[in-house]
Amino acid sequence: MTAATKKMASGFKMDNGMAEPTVSAGYAKALMDLAVSKGADQQQLIERSHINLNDLQDQDSRIPLENHIALMKAGKELSNEPALSLHFGELSDMPQMSIVGLICQAADTMAEAFTQMNRYGRLVIEVDLGRPTDRFEIIRSNGQMWLVDARKNPNSYPELTESTFARMICWVGQKFGDKPFAKAVHVTHAEPSYRAEYDRIFKMPVVFGSDKNALLIDETWLSIKIPPSSRYVFGILSEHADGLLESLKYSNTMKWKV
């Protein structure tokens, strides 16, 4: 195992010995930087999230998901910005904080980018450990196409729904301008006090308390071509990501726990 692989494979364990969900250090650092830029005190963020700054230096390193959630909560309070998670999705640049963003950006079409997002998404943030199916699904129903976030217990951390959908919609808008993508947003959590930020960022109908976390999308979106990039670079990135994914899987095996 390489030094980087060993660092990742060290993993995190809960008191009961089970593997604990993690997020990439690059993802957590981007959130901390955003909270600080909005007025939060960095030292207080560190103390309340129990995140060591040294653990954020290598963006491929891992920190426990519970620490990231604590960081989000502290960031919202210390910056006095209840919509911080929406802003995290709106303003953060995935290619800058994760190899997953680079791979999606180097894909040929939006359909391929979607496939790669599902394949490597755990490198950014782990949810539903042991889930046999993809986190995101394309579902056709009654003549409509939905991009569904199918993770379990989404309302335990609705900020993840907010940041994920805001990032998807804002990224497509930045890259492709007025090309059709999402037409409506559905979320399972209740309407928050910062509803106005939903309207500003999404600029489309938003349904709260829905039976699904999903984007109603245009059928033509999957065929949109992404601006050309080097397929050689795509291959190199994928090879590196495969190594990271393998070490992440290894850290969650019974063999590693023993």
User: What pLDDT was estimated at residue 5?
Assistant: 36
CA 207 to chain centre: 21
Separation CA 247–CA 162 (nearest Å)? 29
Band of pLDDT at residue 7, cut at 50, 70 and 90: very low
Q: Provide mean pLDDT across the span 191-197.
A: 98
Separation CA 231–CA 228 (nearest Å)? 9
- Which of 19-33, 79-93, 95-109, 158-172 bottoms out in mean pLDDT, i.e. has the lowest? 95-109
Does the pTM of the predicted model rise above 0.85? no
